[in-house]
Structure 1
Amino acid sequence: MFKQFDINNICVKFMSVRLDKYLWACRFYKTRSLSRSVVASGKVKYNGQACKPSKIVELGAVIRVPAGFDYKEVVVKSISDQRGKSEVAQTLYEETPKSIEQRLKDQEARKLSAFHSPRPDQKPSKKQRRELIKLKVQ
């Protein structure tokens, strides 16, 4: 949706897009309703603050979006309200280097924690399960 303003007899057009629609267009979420519910729950931060799905997105804004176990912190580079190819969607935002570094650290930590608690080859027997429960209760 384009909005038009007259500033000193100069016509200025700019696109105004809701936050939920922008996140959907950037392909962070598969449906608009899912995007709207995540923003409404307060998990998405716009410039460090929780906001409503109807928040108008501005260029240069920093958005923190949950992505699986991690969060992506992105800067708005351009605005679109249409969902297109993933190559086009990736040009709408730029992930911050700090966010990339943090996600890699968290990913490495999850890999290391998997080594410390390996999965057993089989389910515990009744006796082993009772012993595990006894250990957890103590």
Structure 2
Amino acid sequence: MRVDKYLWCLRYYKTRSIATRACKKGSITVNGSTVKPSREVYPGDAIGLRKEQINFTLEVLDLPDSRLGAKLVDMYRKDTTPKEAFANKELLKYSKEYYRKKGVGRPTKKDRRDLEDFTESEFD
């Protein structure tokens, strides 16, 4: 089975074209080497993929016939992704919270003046 089809069947990507694009970008590896979307995968292969700033690692247990329901995915792969990868994503989410709320827009003139006063007071 093709690697892009395998990842689509296991619901890592919403469409096959997105999985194909990820292969072409180089974010998918099989047994440590970057692969093309047409690369065949077999049981026992180790697949690594980077999605949403998480490096997933999984082992192919079996090949599905078609796209699976979410409950059946664990029968066809063994997820060996370390738990620290998910913890890092949580920390990244908190680090992106600025004092401005998302969608508020550009800084106002008052914000700029406050920032200039702050930076000038530190260096004086």
TM over 0.5: yes
Structure 2 partner of 1:129:
112
Which segment is superposed worse, 125-134 or 20-29?
Answer: 125-134
The alpha carbon displacement at 1:60 in A equals 1.3
TM-score, scaled relative to structure 2: 0.76
Instruction: Please give the per-residue CA displacement for 1:78-120, whole angstroms capped at 9, x wherever unaligned.
Output: 1124002111123211111xx2323133134325535xx6423
SS in 2 for 1:90: helix
Name the TM-score, length of structure 1 as normaliser: 0.70
Task: Tell me how far apart the structure 2 counterparts of residues 48 and 102 of structure 1 sit (CA, whole Å).
Answer: 20
Taking a change above 3 Å as real, the CA distance of residues 73 and 133 of structure 1, as seen in their structure-2 partners, is farther
Measured in 2, the distance between the counterparts of 1:32 and 1:86 equals 17
Which blocks of at least 5 consecutive residues in structure 1 are unaligned? 1-16
Task: Give the aligned length.
Answer: 115
**Superposed displacement of residue 22, structure 1:** 0.5
CA RMSD of aligned residues (A): 2.5
- Find out whether 1:100 has 2:82 as its counterpart: yes
Distance 1:130 1:60 in 2: 60
1:113 maps to 95
Do the aligned partners of residues 53 and 128 (structure 1) sit closer, same or farther apart at CA in structure 2, a change above 3 Å counting? same
Give the % identical residues. Answer: 30
> CA 1:127–1:40 in structure 2 vs 1: closer, same or farther (change >3 Å)?
same
Task: Give the whole-Å Cα distance in 1 for the aligned partners of 2:12 and 2:86.
Answer: 19
CA contact (8 A) 2:29 2:47 kept: yes
Q: How does 1:25-40 map to 2 (within 5 A)?
A: 25-40=9-24
